[in-house]
Amino acid sequence: MSDVVTSLLHDNHTKIFLLVLDGLGGLPDPRSRQTELETAKTPTLDRWASEGATGLVDPVGRGITPGSGPAHLALFGYDPISENVGRGVLSALGAGLEMTSRDVAARINFATRDENGEIVDRRAGRIASEEGRRVAELLASGVKIDGVELTVRAEKEHRAVVVFRADGLGGDVSDTDPQVTGLPPLEVRPLTDDAGASRMAEVANEFIRQARGILKNEKEANEVLLRGFAGWDPPPSFRERFGLRAAAVAMYPMYRGLATLVGMRVFPEMPSIEAEFDALPEALADADFVYLHVKQTDSAGEDGDFGRKVSILETVDGLLPRVEEAGADLVIVTGDHSTPALMKSHSWHPVPILFRGGTTYRDETESFGETAARRGALGRFPSREIMPQALAAVGRLNRFGA
């Protein structure tokens, strides 16, 4: 399908704006029977819904709970399965690191381990970014493995990344994060019989062993959980696939890494949601496609904070008139996945989506929320089909066939 879309492209100078509210989808509160999005007072989103069309998207497939990496690749029009890229690569790119064919990267979560060796906090209390940098620097200067060049770089809060550089390393190894508290970290294991995977497992386990010694006296960040091991094998660029000059505005490193991976112009890290929207006029002035990412909705959902997620949605809604002032021809609002506060995690539930502008027709939806979106004219479809519909809505696709 992507080859067909690429063959039909033509440039008409229209502009597309994609707003991704991370973890947007939710589940109804048992008392109010409304989700976070339905509870929030969002007059602009509701107006946009009444002026456009809504529906639901599945990031990877029905019933599948996605990670942020494949979910975003699907939003960008890539196949989230066959073109998936490991979280480690995305973290490395987001941290400003360049990768080579000799590299394998892994995402680090600093965590808290008790005296029994069990994880009691997978995010080390969401330590401040300054603390995360201090701990990452301890590892960068302290861990030494013969024959392997190591780079450890902090990302944000409890997140960091490690890049292992050596000949013959393979990324087909398992994560160490048990995904729940009350269990010990897992060992890294090769997932194939390839010698590169076996060597990578040995190197990673040695890294963890030394890291524990270095961090043993830390109160919160005394453990490293490694996930998303991956080598460097980038997909075709966004410009090659869709003929669009793209720009990305995002606060968190991994999402800037995703944008870097597909060749978008990436704006510097923003200090706040408001600052992200302040950057929109400049981004749209020089690009055909602008992606703006809001992380805080997902963080609130993972913390189980229904009220905070509602508040963040209301804050974003108050900033949306700036989008109208910036003048995109088509506006798309959705999330990469659902993160219901009731579940405190990513979930398999479909995500509401809104199209407004271009040749998008208006449906009968009068508000933006999960219940209304189920009745929307866009229906329910895979996230990877957003981009072809967006290109069609702004007239950037020629007719297929005679």
Q: Dihedral sign, CA of 224, 225, 228, 229?
A: positive
Task: Dump pLDDT digits (tens) for 87-102.
Answer: 899 889 888 898 999 9
Q: Are 372 and 346 members of one domain? A: yes
In a domain, residue 278? The reply is: yes
Backbone CA torsion sign across 367, 372, 374, 375: negative
Instruction: Answer for the pair 238, 108: CB distance below 8 angstroms, yes or no.
Output: no
Residues in the chain, total: 402
The string of DSSP codes covering 320-378 is: THHHHHHT-SEEEEE-SSB--TTTTS-BS--EEEEEEETTPPP-S--S-SHHHHTTSTT
Report the C-alpha gap between 243 and 391 in whole angstroms: 10
pLDDT for the residue numbered 48: 98
Residues 98 and 119 occupy one common structural domain: yes
- pLDDT higher than 80, residue 2: no
Q: Is residue 36 part of a domain?
A: yes
**Alpha carbon distance 222, 113 (integer Å):** 6
Note the pLDDT of residue 118.
94
**Higher per-residue pLDDT: 93 or 381:** 381
Please tell me the predicted confidence (pLDDT) of residue 215. Answer: 95
Which residue has better confidence, 83 or 1? 83
> 3: pLDDT confidence band, cut at 50, 70 and 90?
confident
pLDDT tens digits for range 178-234: 988 999 999 999 999 999 999 999 999 999 999 999 999 999 999 999 999 999 888
Q: What is the CATH number of the domain that holds 335?
A: 3.40.720.10
CB 17 within 8 A of CB 292: yes
Instruction: Evaluate whether residue 399 is within a structural domain.
Output: no
Is the same domain home to 224 and 240? no
**What's the token pair of residue 287?**
């690009």
pLDDT at position 203, please?
96
Nearest-angstrom CA–CA distance, 178 and 141? 27
Angle at 40 between CA 34 and CA 42, to 5 degrees: 125
Q: How far apart are the first and last CA of the chain?
A: 18
Same domain, 376 and 298: yes
CA proximity to 111, closest of 177, 67, 164, 202: 177
**Mean pLDDT over all residues of the chain?**
94
Indicate whether 348 and 242 sit together in one domain. Answer: yes
Residue 146 lies in a domain: yes
Please indicate, yes or no, if residue 398 is contained in any of the structural domains.
no
User: What is the amino acid identity at position 212?
Assistant: R
What burial class does residue 124 get, using C-beta atoms within 10 Å of its C-beta: 0-12 exposed, 13-18 middle, 19+ buried?
Answer: buried
Nearest-Å Rg of the Cα atoms of the chain is 21
Could you tell me what percent of the chain has a pLDDT over 90?
A: 90
The pLDDT value recorded for residue 303 is: 93
Report pLDDT digits (tens) over 310-343: 999 999 999 999 999 998 999 999 999 999 999 9
387: in domain: yes
Amino acid 402: pLDDT = 73
Residue 396 CB burial class (10 angstroms; 0-12, 13-18, ≥19): buried
Nearest to 394 by CA among 72, 3, 17: 17
Tokens of 231: 């080598």
Q: Please give the pLDDT value at position 196.
A: 94
pLDDT at 351 over 80: yes
Domain final residue, candidates 199, 214, 231:
231
pLDDT in tens, 161-172: 999 999 999 999
Residues 133 and 227 grouped into a single domain: yes
Q: Phi/psi zone of residue 77: left (φ > 0), alpha (ψ -120 to 50 degrees), beta?
A: left
Distance from C-alpha of 394 to C-alpha of 382, rounded to nearest angstrom: 20
In this structure, the answer to whether residues 277 and 224 fall within a common structural domain is no
Judge if 126 and 253 occupy the same domain. no
Task: Label residue 111 by pLDDT band (50, 70, 90).
Answer: very high
Per-residue pLDDT at 291: 98
Domain boundary at 231, 257, 279, which?
Answer: 231
Residues 216 and 296 in one domain: no
Same domain, 101 and 218: yes
**Separation between Cα atoms, residue 254 and residue 172, nearest integer Å:** 20
Closest of 267, 361, 395, 289 to residue 15, by C-alpha: 289
With cut-offs at 50, 70 and 90, classify the pLDDT of residue 401. Answer: confident
Query: Mind listing the pLDDT tens digit for each residue in 33-77?
Result: 999 999 999 999 999 999 999 999 999 999 999 999 999 999 999
Best CA proximity match to 78, nearest among 328, 317, 261: 261
Cross-strand partners of 294: 21
- What total number of domains does the chain contain? 2
Shared domain check, 243 and 389: yes
Out of 186, 207, 231, a domain closes at 231
Q: Say whether pLDDT at 375 is over 90.
A: yes
Host domain of residue 193:
89-231
Q: Do 252 and 385 fall within a single domain?
A: yes
Task: Give me the residue label for tokens 């043993």.
Answer: 216
